[in-house]
Amino acid sequence: MADDGMLLNFELPSGAFTPKETFRGGKWTDRLKAKKSADVRQKRTAGHFSRSIPKFGEVRSEDEELIVPGGPPSKRARTGDVEHSRPRDPTYGHQTSGKPSQSAAKGMTGEVISSLFTYNPKSVVPSTKTVQDESTEPSNAPLNNELDTFTSLGLSSTLANHLLKKLEIKAPTAIQRKAIEQLCRSDTDAFVQAETGSGKTLAYLLPIVQRINAISQGMKDAGQTFNRESGLFALVLAPTRELAKQINTVLESLLICCHWIVGGIVIGGEKKKSEKARLRKGMNVLVATPGRLADHLEHTEVLDVSRVRWLVLDEGDRLMELGFEDDIQRIVSVMNLRSKKTLLQPIPGLPERRTTVMCSATLKADVDHLKTITLKDPISISVDPAEARFDQDGAVMEQAFSAPAQLKQGYAVVPPKQRLVALVAMLKQTFKRKGSVMKCITFISCADSVDFHFDIFTRADPDATTEGKEDPTTTAESDPPSKSSKAKPGHIAQGNTISETRTQGPGLSFSTKENGVQVFRLHGSLQQATRTSTLKAFTKCAEPSLLVCTDVASRGLDLPNVDLVIEYDPPFSKEDHLHRIGRTARAGKDGRAVIFLMPGCEEGYVEVLKEGRPRNLTRHDAEDILKKGFAATSGVVSNNRDWEDRATEWQLELERWVLDNPQRLEQARRAFQSHVRAYTTHVAAERGYFDFQQMHLGHLAKAFALRDKPGSLRVPGMRPRSDGTASKGKEARRSKAANGAAAGRSARTDGVEVESNRNTDEAEGRRKMHAKMRNLGGASEFNLG
């Protein structure tokens, strides 16, 4: 052993041998308060050395948590399997030395209140601030060279004028310059890859409109009539309904200048009957989600795809990931089969072959299969200087993609117990000054957790009673309850019950008198109409606003003026990360993004963040975030530790609020469970950073305002352990036998065993999940078409 280590072990802080103060007489609550103050005092003088800091992932026994004597024996309030009793006192838990023994505490109460500030895992990476390059030029902005005009790329002056006068688009972006030129003059299949927010939609739509317009001109010149019945010439497929709608909106804005070309849209979640009627009338360009289009091809005879000459797969990698491969294969084979049909009357200018374009900010080799189904000898159109690693045969093995250069990135290292308070502190700080941040998006891994956090953020001010009052911000169009929520409908009182109808509400947790913040929620379990109206409301909201959402909003969505993206839950893959943060810093604008990471293995993810070659990458520590967010006077960071008390009080008040209502408690537990399940679904290559075995479930539960004992935390797919041994369940054994040691591994955390049925083949797993979702007839988290 090195000497240094020995010395460190023997070094004791001043005051380490200070005798403990004892308190006698008075009420027990007063004694507890006095003891707590003494402990805080002692901790401040002695630092945090009085107890050893556990290694990350080390399982703590319950007696290391503060167990609050709940006064008289509580009534049994059975919720799930856990017995709860509520303290009568807003006691909070800096670690106390004179705590009752574990068995005694258990006998008195089943409720565990731990301190936010003790036994937190330490960061394993030194806290050095990364140098920022402030002078970075935007990389996805329109070009400012006078020679780069739309007409020089092959667009008609009518279209170019329309772009300038009606859409205020003066010059092309770098990817538009390359793609428009190529697609206007050639019928070669293409991959279009460029950063988020670089204008890829127009990069493929403009050449399509230009060329269909040329066909219409050719027909007119040949004495033929061009109208909506002349044929469906272009098909654009997108993985999500929201994205399909957005593409359709851009298309409509272009077609204003050539109104004889008719566009249309078919997506899941809409009425099929009206879609059929529109298809019957005819259209020249169709935007669709693959599932719905495949369905129409099977059941809507009138849909003729024999003349389709442009097929665009927007977010091609995502289409593949979500298991749309079969649908796309069906669509392509129907098109191949029908295109052989000879046209009664040849159409002048109609290309011989179909051009397929696949585009995304993160297109890489694993779309190979989709490529073989749909593309022939594609060329690559890209402006991203991303580096690729090739194998011996020259195939791309690994490709790094970059985020827009002007996007300022950061990561926050926050221990599990402090995650929620840190998020609220960050939001308080974000919306502190009026006008500094107008729109912020916070990504959360699953729908249940989105609902839970939305309810927390919009709950009534604890000091103002709103019990029973109707929430004035309930969206006009109300939904039936979301599939993810089992509680009974009809509770819309703000802040006091589970919100099932609300998708918008005032963000009372971080609003100030000067700066009122509106909060919105969005996930795939909401009805389509609600999703659409919520996105619209968020987009149009003139007040500062926060969208709390799942990855349903991560791809392709162009929400204007988003200043900040917070990845509260880490993304499932590095590609998802780039798409999420790409909701800000679009088309040359500024933007900021922060990802929350827990101390320990998650910190290794910083290396993955660096792969995107961020020009700015700043580290934020939990303490700094909490200090700023819970500072006494906004903006003033004081030297004393009052912010600790304020953060603790906020947390404890929230825990009581959750415990107060069985529905809310159930909602918190469901959110926790779904979060943990989602955590195990990171792509195989990144699971090392998000290792479930290292997750401290007891600590994490605090971020869901739960006071459940660690051993009582249940997650479907996990079994509580009775003996503390690492026994493996039947399913795990079977799975292990079937898939080898890597798959079906059993993880143990805090007396809970998870029997993971992770499939080594991620894509296959996702495909199966997709199929299952669709069979269930429910909207998946991924918002399938």
Ligand X SMILES: Nc1ncnc2c1ncn2[C@@H]1O[C@H](COP(=O)(O)OP(=O)(O)OP(=O)(O)O)[C@@H](O)[C@H]1O
| Cβ proximity to ligand X, 213 vs 246, nearer residue | 246
CB of 367 to ligand X, least distance (A): 15
| Cβ proximity to ligand X, 317 vs 691, nearer residue | 317
Binding track, positions 398-427, relative to ligand X; x by CB under 6 A: ------------------------------
CA 587, CA 140: separation in Å to the nearest integer? 5
Q: Which of 82, 113, 169, 546 binds ligand X (CB under 6 A)?
A: 169
CB of 660 to ligand X, least distance (A): 42
Position 571 contacts ligand X (CB under 6 A): no
| Cβ proximity to ligand X, 586 vs 707, nearer residue | 586
Binding track, positions 172-191, relative to ligand X; x by CB under 6 A: xx--x---------------
Secondary structure (DSSP) of 37-101: HHHHHHHHHHTTTTSPPPPTTPPPPGGGS-B---SSPPPP--BTTB-----SS----S--TTPPP
| Cβ proximity to ligand X, 176 vs 409, nearer residue | 176
CB of 251 to ligand X, least distance (A): 12
| Cβ proximity to ligand X, 580 vs 748, nearer residue | 580
- Tokens 């991560």 found at: 554
In the chain, what is the greatest distance between 2 CA atoms, to the nearest angstrom?
Answer: 104
What single DSSP character describes residue 136? P
**Are 552 and 782 a contacting pair, CB within 8 Å?**
yes
Tokens for 93, please give them: 């838990």
| Cβ proximity to ligand X, 172 vs 698, nearer residue | 172
Q: Which stretch binds ligand X (CB under 6 A): 23-31, 57-65, 165-173, 405-413?
A: 165-173
| Cβ proximity to ligand X, 89 vs 611, nearer residue | 611
| Cβ proximity to ligand X, 201 vs 511, nearer residue | 201
CA 518, CA 636: separation in Å to the nearest integer? 25
Q: Which stretch binds ligand X (CB under 6 A): 49-57, 194-202, 255-263, 731-739?
A: 194-202
Q: Is 348 exposed, middle or buried (0-12, 13-18, 19+ CB in 10 A)?
A: middle
| Cβ proximity to ligand X, 197 vs 481, nearer residue | 197
| In 711-777, alpha helices (H) | 730-739, 762-776
Residues 6+ apart with CB under 8 A from 59: 696, 749, 750, 751
CB of 313 to ligand X, least distance (A): 13
Using CB under 6 A, count the residues that bind ligand X.
19
Q: Which of 235, 244, 257, 361 binds ligand X (CB under 6 A)?
A: 361
Binding track, positions 645-674, relative to ligand X; x by CB under 6 A: ------------------------------
Position 198 contacts ligand X (CB under 6 A): yes
| Cβ proximity to ligand X, 168 vs 607, nearer residue | 168
**Are 441 and 547 a contacting pair, CB within 8 Å?**
yes
CB of 521 to ligand X, least distance (A): 21
Tokens for 299, please give them: 């059941």
| Cβ proximity to ligand X, 173 vs 674, nearer residue | 173
State which amino acid sits at residue 216. Answer: S
Binding to ligand X in span 573-592, by CB under 6 A: 582, 586-587
**Are 602 and 690 a contacting pair, CB within 8 Å?**
yes
Q: Which stretch binds ligand X (CB under 6 A): 170-178, 383-391, 469-477, 687-695?
A: 170-178
Binding to ligand X in span 199-218, by CB under 6 A: 199-202
CB of 151 to ligand X, least distance (A): 14
What single DSSP character describes residue 346? P
CA 383, CA 140: separation in Å to the nearest integer? 10
What single DSSP character describes residue 442? E
CB of 622 to ligand X, least distance (A): 30
CB of 496 to ligand X, least distance (A): 38
CB of 171 to ligand X, least distance (A): 6
Tokens for 692, please give them: 């479930």
| Cβ proximity to ligand X, 561 vs 739, nearer residue | 561
In 3-state terms the chain splits into helix, strand, coil percentages (rounded to 5) of 40, 10, 50
CB of 577 to ligand X, least distance (A): 13
CA 429, CA 540: separation in Å to the nearest integer? 23
In the chain, count H helices and then E strands.
23, 20
- Listed residue (447, 448, 429, 430) closest to 438, CA to CA: 430
Q: Which of 207, 556, 599, 751 binds ligand X (CB under 6 A)?
A: 556
CB of 267 to ligand X, least distance (A): 17
Secondary structure (DSSP) of 211-235: HHHHHHHHHHHTT---SGGG---EE
CB of 437 to ligand X, least distance (A): 19
- Give Cα 555 distance to the centre of its chain: 10
CA 238, CA 267: separation in Å to the nearest integer? 9
| Cβ proximity to ligand X, 140 vs 757, nearer residue | 140
Tokens for 660, please give them: 């107060």
CB of 131 to ligand X, least distance (A): 28
Q: Which stretch binds ligand X (CB under 6 A): 171-179, 452-460, 514-522, 531-539?
A: 171-179
Tokens for 47, please give them: 């630092």
Binding to ligand X in span 675-704, by CB under 6 A: none
| Cβ proximity to ligand X, 562 vs 752, nearer residue | 562
Q: Which stretch binds ligand X (CB under 6 A): 167-175, 254-262, 287-295, 305-313?
A: 167-175
CA 348, CA 169: separation in Å to the nearest integer? 31
State which amino acid sits at residue 249. Answer: T
CB of 216 to ligand X, least distance (A): 24
State which amino acid sits at residue 756. Answer: S
**Are 736 and 745 a contacting pair, CB within 8 Å?**
yes
Which phi and psi (to 5°) does residue 64 adopt? -90, -5
Q: Which stretch binds ligand X (CB under 6 A): 127-135, 197-205, 457-465, 759-767?
A: 197-205
Position 254 contacts ligand X (CB under 6 A): no
Binding to ligand X in span 131-150, by CB under 6 A: 142
What single DSSP character describes residue 584? S
| Cβ proximity to ligand X, 201 vs 518, nearer residue | 201
Radius of gyration of the chain (CA): 29
**509: alpha, beta or left, given left = phi > 0 and alpha = psi -120 to 50?**
alpha
| Cβ proximity to ligand X, 214 vs 559, nearer residue | 559
Name the residue with the smallest CB distance to ligand X.
199
Tokens for 193, please give them: 């890859």
Q: Which residues bind ligand X (CB under 6 A)?
A: 142, 169, 172-173, 176, 194, 196-202, 361, 556, 558, 582, 586-587
